[in-house]
Amino acid sequence: MSAEPNSPIDFDLTVEAGDWPEEATLAALVEHAITATFAELSPARPGESELGVIFTDDAHIRDLNAGWRGKDKATNVLSFPAFPETKSGPLPPLLGDIVLAAETVAGEAALEDKPFENHISHLVVHGLLHLLGYDHETDAEAEEMEALERRVLARLAIPDPYA
């Protein structure tokens, strides 16, 4: 799936496994999340780039999490950068991949009483920010990343997920 004319980067969307909304709905959510994220970043980063977004299930993301992070459990989202992440400079030709797990994402949305689609959008933004060099390993990094997520989600009319 290619980006719409207004999207700052192209993306490939794959529905691999899991109970997800229709592909057209997912594509719209991904595109809006990408567009809002890049609109919030200042200054804009030059360069053409591509992103992979994979919608899968908990079993597959658990395998990925165990293999890449040494954590033998499912998680909601993983980001796999194609190049070393950096918050500045031109975009690499390929940002990398974002992988979301259906059961975990749906469970969190239900537990937090938020629309499933809003949670998907939030996690795409979160994963994209990781690929763009943002992290939450320290308190200062977490504050910076969460503040940026809040601003991006506000552009999408999604309530603050950290409130």
Where is pLDDT greater, at 112 or 5?
Answer: 112
- Does the predicted TM-score (pTM) go above 0.85? yes
Residue 150: is its pLDDT beyond 70? Answer: yes
Residue 121: is its pLDDT beyond 90? Answer: yes
Lowest mean pLDDT among 24-33, 42-51, 124-133: 42-51
Whole-number Å distance between alpha carbons of 68 and 40: 30
Per-residue pLDDT, 4: 47
Per-residue pLDDT, 95: 94
Per residue in 122-143, pLDDT (tens digit) is 999 999 999 999 998 889 999 9
In CATH, what class is 10-155?
Answer: alpha beta
Where is pLDDT greater, at 42 or 11?
Answer: 11
Residue 51 CB-density burial (10 A; 0-12 exposed, 13-18 middle, 19+ buried): buried
Could you tell me which residues come within 8 angstroms of residue 17 by beta carbon, excluding any fewer than 6 positions away? 55, 56, 57, 59, 60, 102
Q: Rounded mean pLDDT of 30-55?
A: 89
Q: What one-letter code names the amino acid at 126?
A: H
